[in-house]
Amino acid sequence: MNINPKEVALIGLGPAGVSAAVYLKRYGMIPVAYEKTIVGGKTNLTENIENYPGVEKVKGPAFGMALEKQLKDFDIAPVYDEVTELSLNEDGSFRLVTKKGQSHDYRYVILSQGLGEKPFPIEGEETFHKRGISRCAICDGRFYRGKDVAVVGAGNSAFEEAIYLASLCAHVTLIARRTTFRAQETVVASFKALPNTKILAPYEIVRAEGENSLSSLEVKNKDTGETEKLAVQGLFLYVGEVPNLSFLKIDGLTDEKGYLITDGRRETKQKNLFAIGDCRDTTLRQIVTAAGDGALAATSVHDTYQQSQYTK
């Protein structure tokens, strides 16, 4: 099997993947970077980024464009194709197959494909998908300008996107299952301070209702069991995510929640297979930590490559 040992497959070009690609190129390695949608990943769906050191408040799409430009500056051309299978060869290398039918073997692979949307069944969701129910405020928020909307969730994403929606919509109600929130206190305080917002907690949605499009939600107070109608024309779901690992055909690499287990070098339980960013088991999923993961994994790959050359 003829494998170029300097080639490293990168799956996903969010901040973690871009960071790894740049570091690999600086080390003299050859990053082959696969991306199925757009460079920057979900940063492109974020209204504002204001906690990255040294960078003033910036729009998510602008940050994504900066990442894309950095790849171009380093002469790294993304491969816009979806990886559909990653399996282990007998010699310990990896076989990568894409949706467009390409197949290639690599000695090293870095997984940086991020997270997908967690299923959140609501009675009526199928009826109102794209007719009142959305998972992307940046994408669809403009359609609800001057209208009343609700956001479901309790993390930073839910509160941050609810703040963005409040700048467009007449009123924004955030619905949370608990009275304690995962979001940072400053973000929660910013949402509460807006004149056209409120929080329903602890509440859950019973069903979505309407005729041709969403017009109301039936919600239930989890403490009292009482239900009420909430008149909204839009519902935005920010209820968690799950790792995008359906293409991975190597068993025994994840924890009970489906996240990849890595060591301090960001190497998984499978030798020469690394994981960075949101798809791995980590206490914090932020752009700054993702970028650090990318630099660390790229350095680990390069060190491993150099050691292999010394032992020849």
The enclosing domain of 54 has a CATH number of: 3.50.50.60
So what's the pLDDT on residue 88? 97
Domain boundary among 183, 202, 237: 237
Q: How far apart are CA 259 and CA 261, in angstroms?
A: 6
Q: Are residues 136 and 218 in the same domain?
A: yes
So what's the pLDDT on residue 30? 98
So what's the pLDDT on residue 197? 98
pTM higher than 0.85 = no
Q: Are residues 73 and 153 in the same domain?
A: no
Is 21 part of any domain?
yes
Strand partners, 198: 173
Q: Are residues 13 and 159 in the same domain?
A: no
Beta strands in the chain (DSSP E): 7-11, 30-35, 48-49, 58-59, 79-80, 83-88, 94-98, 103-106, 108-111, 115-117, 133-134, 148-152, 171-175, 197-200, 203-210, 214-221, 227-231, 234-237, 241-243, 273-275
Domain boundary among 237, 260, 292: 237
So what's the pLDDT on residue 312? 64
So what's the pLDDT on residue 125? 66
Is 155 part of any domain?
yes
Across the beta sheet with 171-175, the strand order is: 133-134, 234-237, 148-152, 171-175, 197-200
So what's the pLDDT on residue 124? 66
Q: How many domains does the chain have?
A: 2
Domain boundary among 179, 207, 237: 237
So what's the pLDDT on residue 129? 63
Enumerate residue ranges in the chain where pLDDT < 70. Answer: 1, 124-130, 312
Q: Which residue segment(s) compose the domain that 112 sits in?
A: 7-117+241-310
Q: Are residues 110 and 198 in the same domain?
A: no
Q: Are residues 157 and 302 in the same domain?
A: no
Q: Are residues 103 and 130 in the same domain?
A: no
Q: Are residues 103 and 12 in the same domain?
A: yes
